[in-house]
Amino acid sequence: MPHNDEQPSANPELRILRRADVEEKTGLKRTFIYKLMSEGKFPASLQLGIRAVGWDAAEIDQWTSEHLNRRQ
């Protein structure tokens, strides 16, 4: 029987979400996302190009989990 010695990566692959994906995942609209970002209450966006931004999916998942836990 083959033995697999691979360990999970300490740095999972970075996955970028575009704004529409972030809006769908969080239920928040663009204006409120940027307001929270300016207040330091939402993960910062990453500049992908001149007019393109995205967010680290892991940071959005973590923010969503923390936000939901605060409501309980």
- Look up the pTM and report it: 0.77
Residue 19 pLDDT greater than 90, yes or no: yes
Question: Where residue 68 falls among pLDDT bands split at 50, 70, 90?
Answer: confident
Segment holding 69, helix H or strand E: helix 57-71
Which amino acid is present at 19? R
**Span 20-58, pLDDT tens digits:** 999 999 999 999 999 999 999 999 999 999 999 999 999
Q: How many CA atoms lie within 13 A of 24 on its CB side?
A: 6
pLDDT value at residue 60: 97
